[in-house]
């Protein structure tokens, strides 16, 4: 499973990029709003840094406007993927953009049927929001599992991006249930590194190594 970062903060993306494990980036209008940066400039800057798909959302409400905005955005960099919402207008726009070979990530997916529609419209990616599903006491892991089953049985090429990840267990749920990608917030990347036994083990090894260096063999 590939790992994307779900962030519009350049410093966060830059830091996780230095780990050498990032395959792409997703943003959304709320993340862009919090970044307080110019949308197009920021997306271009991110695409220049990370060699992989960078999802940028087109928050228009008609298919016509979505298509016009998507075409403009897609010109900024070859790695830009247009994020469109799972609405009737979004589906229409996806079908048009797919014919023009502009990549679409259909977002706000909360059911397997929505994923099926997005895939048939030609979306390259679907983003099921597992955290928000869990928030309302449904099962985000199950959503990933069912979408995977449908795509595999139907031989459908659309990739599943597990989104709305809130903690490391969601990353595990995504990987076990067949997501192609997990888009992970900065904070969760940091949490994934951590294990108390790693910390205590390292402390023990460091202590003994220092004793060894001092020639203390007891």
Active-site positions read 83
Of 131 and 178, nearer to ligand E4P (C-beta) is 131
Question: What's the CA angle centered on 195, arms 194 and 201, to 5 degrees?
Answer: 120
Residue ranges binding ligand E4P (CB under 6 A): 6, 26, 28, 107, 127, 129, 131-132, 163-164, 183
Give min distance, CB of 28 to ligand E4P, in A. 4
Q: How many CA atoms lie within 13 A of 65 on its CB side?
A: 7
Give min distance, CB of 185 to ligand E4P, in A. 7
Of 94 and 107, nearer to ligand E4P (C-beta) is 107
Of 11 and 203, nearer to ligand E4P (C-beta) is 11
Of 26 and 177, nearer to ligand E4P (C-beta) is 26
| Spatial distance between the Cα atoms of 156 and 72, rounded to a whole number of angstroms | 28
Nearest to 107 by CA among 124, 84, 123: 84
Give min distance, CB of 190 to ligand E4P, in A. 16
Give min distance, CB of 86 to ligand E4P, in A. 12
| Spatial distance between the Cα atoms of 47 and 77, rounded to a whole number of angstroms | 7
Phi, psi of 95 (to 5 degrees): -60, -40
| Spatial distance between the Cα atoms of 90 and 108, rounded to a whole number of angstroms | 11
């Amino acid at each position: 499973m590939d790992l994307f970062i779900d962030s519009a903060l350049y410093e966060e993306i830059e830091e996780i990029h230095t780990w050498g494990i990032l395959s792409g980036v997703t943003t959304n209008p709320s993340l862009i709003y919090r970044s307080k940066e110019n949308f197009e400039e920021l997306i271009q800057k991110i695409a220049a840094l990370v060699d992989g798909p960078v999802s940028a959302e087109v928050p228009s409400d008609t298919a016509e406007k979505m298509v016009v905005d998507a075409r403009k955005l897609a010109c900024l960099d070859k790695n830009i993927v247009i994020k469109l919402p799972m609405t009737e207008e979004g589906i229409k726009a996806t079908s048009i953009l797919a014919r023009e070979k502009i990549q679409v990530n259909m977002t706000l997916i909360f059911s397997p049927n929505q994923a099926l529609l997005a895939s048939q419209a030609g979306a390259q990616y679907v983003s099921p929001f597992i955290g928000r599903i869990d928030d309302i006491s449904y099962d985000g892991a199950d959503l990933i599992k069912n979408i995977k089953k449908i795509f595999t049985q139907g031989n459908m090429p659309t990739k599943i991006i597990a989104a709305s990840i809130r903690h490391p267990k969601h990353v595990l749920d995504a990987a076990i249930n067949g997501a192609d990608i997990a888009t992970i917030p900065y904070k969760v990347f940091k949490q994934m590194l951590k294990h108390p036994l790693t910390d205590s083990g390292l402390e023990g090894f460091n202590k003994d190594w220092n004793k060894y260096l001092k020639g203390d063999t007891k």
